[in-house]
């Protein structure tokens, strides 16, 4: 690090780096200066415990075990590098997930050929329309789900557009709240809500297809 520079320029330098890496801190806090011992303590006691969730998230984003490991490693190294912008007592898991998501967009999404444009205009329109209340509930039964003992649900999830996949993972697997998801994804809470709604319906459609293939008749 650039220990010899005065505190002011050190701070500016960090701001510039953050902009370069699209790593805005969650609450734009004033960076603090942790001692080396504190850094290590925070890293090991607050960051490392989330590594399994982080890896699972990375795998569901990249759909490749090696890419997932690379992404997780990059994320943890970045987290350590920018540890001064992490405020103790705030949600470390959400902070880490946000860095991982940004790294994925910057470094991995470009590489993959996956088209990831979701028509959000359509999503909002859909959500705000009257269809919401008389929604066509897919003819999917709980018994059919109980028979899905293989990879059906995993394949169904993976087949969703990455933006839809992401909100399902954040909400249903990781238990993040609307405001946390909004910060992780840099989108308004209303968009989180409508994206989740649409994602759940798309997932149900996929599962309904599987159920039909398994021989479950409608109703």
Partner 1 sequence: MPKLPDSSKTFNCREMLQKILDGDATPEQQQQFKVHMEECMPCYKGYELEMAIKALLQKKCNGHGAPPDLIEKIKNKISHITPH
Residue 154 binding partner 1, by CB under 8 A: yes
The whole-angstrom separation of Cα 122 and Cα 68 is 31
Q: Which of 161, 177, 182, 216 binds partner 1 (CB under 8 A)?
A: 177
**At closest approach, how far in Å is the CB of 111 from partner 1?**
19
Rule CB under 8 A: say whether 73 interacts with partner 1.
yes
CA 112 to chain centre: 17
Among 67, 73, 57, which Cα is nearest to 157's? 57
State in angstroms the smallest separation of the CB of 187 from partner 1.
Answer: 15
Candidates 99, 123, 169, 185; binder of partner 1 (CB under 8 A) is: 169
Contact 195, 119 (CB under 8 A): no
Which of these ranges, 16-24, 38-46, 104-112, 118-126, lies near partner 1 under the rule CB under 8 A? Answer: 38-46
C-alpha neighbours within 13 Å on the C-beta side of residue 120: 13
Helical spans, DSSP H, in 63-168: 65-81, 92-103, 120-128, 142-146, 152-159, 162-168
Specify the DSSP class assigned to residue 29: P
Among 56, 126, 161, 182, binds partner 1 (CB under 8 A): 56
Q: Give the nearest distance from C-beta 162 to partner 1 in angstroms.
A: 15
Residue 7 near partner 1 by CB under 8 A? no
Here's the x/- map for partner 1, 76-115, by CB under 8 A: it reads as xx--x-----------------------------------
Question: How far is Cα of residue 155 from the mean position of the Cα atoms in its chain?
Answer: 18
**φ/ψ of residue 72, rounded to 5:** -65, -40
Answer for the pair 162, 114: CB distance below 8 angstroms, yes or no: yes
Q: How far apart are CA 74 and CA 68, in angstroms?
A: 10
Shortest gap between Cβ of 140 and partner 1 (angstroms)? 6
Place of tokens 């603090």: 32
Out of 94, 140, 160, 202, the residue judged to bind partner 1 by CB under 8 A: 140
Q: Verify binding: residue 193, partner 1, rule CB under 8 A.
A: yes
- The H or E element that residue 4 is part of is none
Give the interface with partner 1 as residue ranges (CB under 8 A).
36, 39-40, 43-44, 48, 51-52, 54-56, 59-60, 65, 68-69, 72-73, 76-77, 80, 132-133, 135, 137, 140-142, 145-146, 148, 151, 153-154, 157, 168-169, 171-173, 175, 177-178, 193, 196-197, 200, 203-204, 207
């Amino acid at each position: 690090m650039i220990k010899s520079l005065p505190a002011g320029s050190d701070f500016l330098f960090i701001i510039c780096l953050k902009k370069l890496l699209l790593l805005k801190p969650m609450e734009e806090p004033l960076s603090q200066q942790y001692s080396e011992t504190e850094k290590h303590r925070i890293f090991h006691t607050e960051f490392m415990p989330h590594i399994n969730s982080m890896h699972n998230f990375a795998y569901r984003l990249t759909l490749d075990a090696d890419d997932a490991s690379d992404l997780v490693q990059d994320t943890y190294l970045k987290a350590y590098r920018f540890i001064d912008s992490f405020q103790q007592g705030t949600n470390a898991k959400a902070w880490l997930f946000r860095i991982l998501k940004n790294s994925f967009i910057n470094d991995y999404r470009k590489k993959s050929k996956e088209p990831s444009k979701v028509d959000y205009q359509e999503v909002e329109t859909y959500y705000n329309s009257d269809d919401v209340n008389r929604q066509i509930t897919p003819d999917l039964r709980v018994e059919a789900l109980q028979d899905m003992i293989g990879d059906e649900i995993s394949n169904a999830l993976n087949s969703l557009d990455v933006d839809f996949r992401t909100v399902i993972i954040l909400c249903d697997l990781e238990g993040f709240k609307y405001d946390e998801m909004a910060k992780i994804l840099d989108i308004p809470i209303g968009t989180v809500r409508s994206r989740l709604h649409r994602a759940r319906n798309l997932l149900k459609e996929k599962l309904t297809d599987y159920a039909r293939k398994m021989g479950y008749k409608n109703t």
